[in-house]
Amino acid sequence: MHDQVWRTIVQIHQYTKELILLGEEREPDFKSFLQPKQEHWHAYDHVIRAMACEVGLLEEVSKDYADKHYKKVLGHEYRAFFDAADFLCVKIRKRVIEALAPFDDIFLSLHFPEYHSRIRRQVDTISKEIAGLRGVKDVGQDDEILQVVARYRKTVQKLLDLLDEVEQQVPVLYESMKSIRSREDELRRREEDLKRKEEEIERRMKQ
Amino acid sequence: MRRLKVGDAWKDLIDEDLPSCAVDELTKDTVEKESSRFRASMRIIKGMFWTDREYEEFRSRVLGTPLP
């Protein structure tokens, strides 16, 4: 009785739940994001319709009535997944922007070269790709939905790994900035000393 | 628009879609005002949730900000 479609629904639902929890964990103001839950609300209504048919409560319906509603369930679950994925990706992008804001481009190129060569491009591409998919209403073929969702679940995991890389590097960057500043201070002090000594020599020579 | 009555056969309603529920400032105010009458998570009772407009503005701002 629709075992395959239920397998797909359960997996997408669990993936979405995982992303909702991760997104809320990364929410500094502890605000809930209700939009995916609305999609679940609509999905539940279609489950009830399909089940009403399957358990024999509806007699005068077309043969494909349950199939039609399971397809709608998949559509709502798919959109809930991309709403949750989008929320998490926006949070990650914001965190990357905030974490690296104190450092300029040249400093980052010198002290965190992987950021410009790899991380920046990947964070940008992934967050914009998932943002684009959120707006797509057509969910595609039933047998492709799970593959698409599983692929994007991995992509979101990749984005989380990139954020970890950035966050691990931030204390190192602050240390480098601190040591550069102390070296600059030291150089400035030496220059001032040198200038004072030159002035002293000049003054003596005049005397 | 069809006017529903209590006592309508549920089978007649089965293909009616649930109303879509916008999460907006009014929802937030109502939830906070009426929270003592309903059970919900603490975040929701305190109005700590993103409205559609807040989220769309935040999202556009973050996606529109170039990465460093």
CA angle A45/A46/A50 to nearest 5° reads: 125
Helix intervals (H) in A55-141: 65-100, 105-111, 113-114, 120-134
Distance from CA of B28 to the nearest CA of A (A): 12
Per-residue pLDDT tens over the stretch A17-76 = 999 999 888 877 788 899 999 999 999 999 999 999 998 888 788 889 999 999 999 999
DSSP-derived 3-state class of residue A32: strand
Beta bridge partner(s), residue A49: none
H helix or E strand, kind and range, residue A174 = helix A142-206
Distance from CA of B26 to the nearest CA of A (A): 15
Nearest to A145 by CA among A82, A89, A90: A82
User: Domain-by-domain residue ranges, chain B?
Assistant: 21-64
In one letter, which amino acid is B3?
R
Across the interface, of B50, B55, B62, the residue whose CB is closest to A93 is B62
A105 contacts B49? CB cut-off 8 A: no
What is the ipTM, given to two decimal places?
0.81
**Chain B contact for A97 (CB, 8 A cutoff):** yes
Per-residue pLDDT tens over the stretch B25-56 = 898 888 888 888 888 888 888 888 999 999 99
Q: Which of A157-166, B37-46, B49-58, B59-68 has the lowest mean pLDDT?
A: B37-46
Question: What is the rounded CA–CA span in Å between residue A30 and residue A25?
Answer: 8
A94 contacts B62? CB cut-off 8 A: yes
DSSP-derived 3-state class of residue A104: coil
Beta bridge partner(s), residue A32: B49
Distance from CA of A97 to the nearest CA of B (A): 6
What does pLDDT average to over chain B?
Answer: 84
Residue of B nearest to A44 (CA): B18
CA angle B19/B22/B25 to nearest 5° reads: 145
Question: What is the rounded CA–CA span in Å between residue B17 and residue A44?
Answer: 11
Distance from CA of B35 to the nearest CA of A (A): 16
**Segments forming the whole domain that contains residue A113:** 3-206
**Chain A contact for B48 (CB, 8 A cutoff):** yes
User: Region A118-144: what's the mean pLDDT?
Assistant: 80
B41 contacts A93? CB cut-off 8 A: no
Q: How far is CA A205 from the centre of its chain?
A: 68
Across the interface, of B21, B41, B62, the residue whose CB is closest to A90 is B62
Across the interface, of A90, A100, A101, the residue whose CB is closest to B63 is A90
pLDDT score of B7: 63
Confidence grade of residue A141 (pLDDT, cut at 50, 70, 90): low
Model confidence, pTM: 0.84
Question: What is the rounded CA–CA span in Å between residue A25 and residue A32?
Answer: 10
Kindly calculate the radius of gyration of chain B based on its CA atoms and give it in whole angstroms: 18
Number of residues in chain B:
68
User: DSSP assignment, residue B49?
Assistant: B
Asked if residue A36 lies in contact with residue A83, where contact means CB atoms within 8 angstroms, the answer is yes
pLDDT score of B4: 58
User: Region A142-155: what's the mean pLDDT?
Assistant: 85
User: How many other CB atoms sit within 10 Å of the CB of residue B24?
Assistant: 13
Q: Residue A140 — left, alpha, or beta (φ > 0 → left; ψ -120 to 50 → alpha)?
A: left
Distances (CA, A) of A68 to A29, A61, A62, A185, B56: 40, 11, 10, 72, 31
In this predicted structure, the answer to whether residue A138 has a pLDDT above a threshold of 80 is no
Confidence grade of residue B61 (pLDDT, cut at 50, 70, 90): very high
Residue of B nearest to A49 (CA): B14
Domains of chain A: total: 1
User: Region A81-88: what's the mean pLDDT?
Assistant: 92
Nearest to A127 by CA among A105, A157, A159, A102: A159
